[in-house]
């Protein structure tokens, strides 16, 4: 007997209509999802996950950690450690610390390996130098660090982490001089040379004096600017100081060179004062003084020069006719000059520019030197000229940081330009600072703001804890 199974006829599905999912299809999709789930998790792994699992570490440290003196170098070390390897470049954000000079000389990180906890760690270290300028508590803010490390599957994991904040207190060494400036260094030397002998000098001759300051353990921009006091009978023309930094086997050495031309105008015996720089020896922990002795020399009359102008006694004996003619010529010239100035827009400014000389140690003098340096686009000349000007425009402040101007009277654009300038001054690959024109414009705005504040207020905030200026003789 043949039995035939009853078959339900299939329903025809129109073309383009989706077929309903069966239970077996759903089960297969679930199995595939569960198998791929670990891969999805690994693809979403972040730097924070690695830190939480103690597979990535970001730490900071200060050297030295205690007994820190003003102007002494403090090194902030940022260390990054991973149990895999670095799969890309690392970017360390900028650091700004008020009342301190901050430098990041490193172009590349210090790479090493370390064995810890049964694992081998790849290490990167970045160092930032901080030079406190006052006796106070310094707060170091967090720094953003962008990095790329390898994940478990060999794929790179990119992101950024934030360092912890830090702080330290800067003080003065015991027995610090109260009436003079000082700096902290491992070694400091002071020497001078003259372009020719300082004996048998005569009126009309000139000599050039070169003073060189060298120190270890601090940047050249922090070396003091020397004063060149004017003396009757001598014309002294100082040039902008030149600074230079060099690093040899991790040791930094700073140099500042100052040149001044001396013109002998009157026969006399002259004495140039002693020059002293007090400094704290960080290695011996003692006070030392680098000095140049006072120099006495005689200037004799020069018979080879043309006849000099008549003295006051000789002027009184001139014939009356010659004296009248001279007076008439002077009066006529003055009248013509006043007549011409009447048709000019700003006669007062022109008269002041013709009759008023700019003192060598004035703010106008240093602003002029800064303008000349900016036109040359040479960072080695711009940086010292900029520090000289910031000191002259803030005579009551001991801080000589360029960023102090940016914080108080500038803006973020000025702060960015000064940061780029400092980096360019320590870069051998960038001999010219191309943004000098923009920096000049921003400094003009800051200068106008500072002068407006000085005009509106005659009182100054006390700074009892400030260090004395590096140039105490400059008024």
Q: Note whether 170 and 68 are within 8 A (CB).
A: yes
244 phi, psi to nearest 5 deg: -150, 135
Sign of CA dihedral 41, 46, 50, 56: positive
For 335, the enclosing helix (H) or strand (E) is helix 320-342
User: Cα(145)–Cα(124) distance, rounded to whole angstroms?
Assistant: 12
**% of the chain exceeding 70 in pLDDT:** 73
Interior angle at CA 133, CA 129 and CA 139, nearest 5: 65
Based on the domain organization, do 51 and 167 belong to the same domain?
yes
pLDDT band at 466 (very low <50, low <70, confident <90, very high): very low
pLDDT tens sequence across 106-116: 888 899 999 98
Same domain, yes or no: 395 and 329: no
Q: What is the pLDDT of residues 338-394, one digit of tens each?
A: 777 665 655 555 555 545 555 666 788 888 888 888 888 888 788 788 877 877 776
Q: 223 lies in which domain range?
A: 182-300
Instruction: Name the nearest CA neighbour of 371 among 355, 358, 389, 356.
Output: 389
DSSP state letters, 417-469: HHHHHHHHHT-TT--S-TTHHHHHHHHHHHHHHHHHHHHH-------TTSPPP
Reported confidence tier of residue 70, pLDDT bands at 50, 70, 90: very high
- Going by pLDDT thresholds of 50, 70 and 90, the confidence category of residue 461 is very low
> Using one digit for the tens of pLDDT, what is the confidence trace for 275-320?
999 999 999 999 999 999 999 999 999 887 765 444 444 444 445 5
- If one compares 12 and 231, the residue with the highest pLDDT of the two is 231
Task: Note the pLDDT of residue 306.
Answer: 62
Higher pLDDT, 193 or 336: 193
Strand pairing report for 206-216 and 251-264: antiparallel
Which whole number is the average pLDDT over 159-178? Answer: 92
Higher pLDDT, 12 or 204: 204
The reply to whether 380 and 451 lie within a common domain is yes
The count of C-alpha atoms lying within 13 angstroms of the C-alpha of 361, restricted to the half-sphere facing its C-beta, is 14
Question: 119 and 226 share a domain?
Answer: no
Give me the residue label for tokens 């800067």: 170
Residue of 356, 464, 376, 378 whose CA lies nearest to 425: 378
Tell me the C-alpha to C-alpha distance, in Å, between residue 368 and each of 208, 365, 402, 455. Answer: 22, 5, 17, 21
Question: 292 with 370, same domain?
Answer: no
- With bands split at pLDDT 50, 70 and 90, how would you rate the model's confidence at 411? low
Domain count, the chain: 4
Residue 339 domain-assigned? yes
Q: Is residue 210 part of a domain?
A: yes
Whether 95 shows a pLDDT value over 70: the answer reads: yes
**106 shares a domain with 205:** no
Please give the torsion angle defined by the CA atoms of residues 475, 193, 384 and 430, in that order, rounded to the nearest 10 degrees. Answer: 170
pLDDT tier for residue 326 given thresholds of 50, 70 and 90: confident
Residue 395 above 80 pLDDT?
Answer: no
Query: Do 59 and 133 fall within a single domain?
Result: yes
Whether residues 266 and 336 fall in one domain: no
Clarify whether residues 167 and 255 are in a common domain.
no
Task: Using pLDDT thresholds of 50, 70 and 90, give the confidence band for residue 401.
Answer: low
> Rounded to the nearest 5°, which phi and psi values hold at 147?
-150, 165
Bridge partners, residue 194, by sequence: 209
Domain with residue 77: its CATH number is 2.60.40
Report which of residues 69 and 247 the model is more confident about: 69
Q: Does residue 309 lie in a domain region?
A: no
Between 425 and 82, whose confidence is greater?
A: 82
Q: Is the peptide bond before 64 cis (omega within 30 degrees of 0)?
A: yes
């Amino acid at each position: 007997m043949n039995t035939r199974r009853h078959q339900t006829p299939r329903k025809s599905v129109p073309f383009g209509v989706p077929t309903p999912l069966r239970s077996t299809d759903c089960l297969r999709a679930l199995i595939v999802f569960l198998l791929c789930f670990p891969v999805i998790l690994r693809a979403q792994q972040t730097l924070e996950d690695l830190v939480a699992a103690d597979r990535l570490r970001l730490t900071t440290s200060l050297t030295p950690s205690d007994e820190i003196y003003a102007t002494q170098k403090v090194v902030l070390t940022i260390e990054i450690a991973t149990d895999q390897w670095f799969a890309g470049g690392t970017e360390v954000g900028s650091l700004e610390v008020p009342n301190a000079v901050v430098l990041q000389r490193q172009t590349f990180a210090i790479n090493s390996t370390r064995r810890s906890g049964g694992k081998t760690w790849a290490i990167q270290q970045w160092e930032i130098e901080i030079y406190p300028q006052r006796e106070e508590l310094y707060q170091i803010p967090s720094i953003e660090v962008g990095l790329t490390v390898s994940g478990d599957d060999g794929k790179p994991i990119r992101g950024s982490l934030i360092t912890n904040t830090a702080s330290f207190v800067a003080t003065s060494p015991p027995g610090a001089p109260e009436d003079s400036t000082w700096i902290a260094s491992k070694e400091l030397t002071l020497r001078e040379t003259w372009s020719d002998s300082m004996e048998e000098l005569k009126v009309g001759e000139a000599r050039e004096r070169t003073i060189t300051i060298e120190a270890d353990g601090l940047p050249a921009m922090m070396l003091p600017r020397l004063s060149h006091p004017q003396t009757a009978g001598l014309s002294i023309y100082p040039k902008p100081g030149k600074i230079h930094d060099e690093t040899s086997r991790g040791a930094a050495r700073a140099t500042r060179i100052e040149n001044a031309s001396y013109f002998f105008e009157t026969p006399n015996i002259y004495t140039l004062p002693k020059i002293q720089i007090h400094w704290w020896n960080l290695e011996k922990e003692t006070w030392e003084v680098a000095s140049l002795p006072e120099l006495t020399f005689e200037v004799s009359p020069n018979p080879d020069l043309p006849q000099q102008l008549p003295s006051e006694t000789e002027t009184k004996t001139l014939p009356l006719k010659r004296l009248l003619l001279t007076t008439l010529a002077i009066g006529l010239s003055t009248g013509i000059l006043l007549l011409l100035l009447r048709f000019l827009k700003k006669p007062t400014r022109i008269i002041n520019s013709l009759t008023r000389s700019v003192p060598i140690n004035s703010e106008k003098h240093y602003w002029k030197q800064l303008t000349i340096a900016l036109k040359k686009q040479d960072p080695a000349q711009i940086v010292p000229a900029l520090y000289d000007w910031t000191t002259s425009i803030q005579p009551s402040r001991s801080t000589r940081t360029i960023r102090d101007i940016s914080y108080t009277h500038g803006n973020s654009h000025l702060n960015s330009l000064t940061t780029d300038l400092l980096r360019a001054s320590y870069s051998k690959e960038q001999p010219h600072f191309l943004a000098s024109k923009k920096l000049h414009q921003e400094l003009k705005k800051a200068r106008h703001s500072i002068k407006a504040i000085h005009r509106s207020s005659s009182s100054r905030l006390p700074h009892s804890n400030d260090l004395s200026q590096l140039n105490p003789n400059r008024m």
